[in-house]
Amino acid sequence: MTTRRLTVGAGWSMVAIALLHTLVFLPHPYWGEWLTGGLHGGAATAESYSTFWALPGGFVAPLLLLGLLVVRMGRRGERAPAYMGWVVGGWVVGCVLLIGPSGFLTGLVPAGLLIAADVSARRGASRREGPVPARH
């Protein structure tokens, strides 16, 4: 796969994860409480706060934006820095260690694609440069 396709694939997989996370957590009873001010009024339950941090206050919006940014970069022929893949992968592994196997494992897909895009770009660059000439 080309660096461009790997990068675009990583971005779309982040967008998909954000949207799927939203769909899974969307149907719950706390929306009414949140929309009527229950969170900042101090009357919310611990479950309500937890669910808030799992959905609208969590990683969904930043992950969606990051995914769209990565798609844009890929379409322009750019790639995200390798550290982005390593950080996403580390975050996923850390969360899985804390919570156990869960939907977090899907985050290994964009992490792996971002790292693979970097490796692909480096290999392509070294092929274009060719062998280093010997000095006399």
DSSP 72-117: HHHHTT----HHHHHHHHHHHHHHHHHH-SSGGGGGHHHHHHHHHH
pLDDT at 129: 52
Q: What is the pLDDT of residue 24?
A: 86
In the chain, what are the domain boundaries? 3-128
pLDDT reported for residue 133: 47
Distance between CA atoms of residues 8 and 72, nearest Å: 8
List the pLDDT tens digit at each of the 136 positions of the chain. Answer: 689 999 999 999 999 999 999 888 888 888 888 888 888 877 788 888 888 888 788 889 999 999 999 999 999 999 999 999 999 999 999 999 999 998 899 999 999 999 999 999 888 766 655 544 444 4
Give the pLDDT of residue 134: 47
Report the 10 Å Cβ neighbour count for 50: 12
- DSSP of 16-34: HHHHHHHHHHSSSTTHHHH
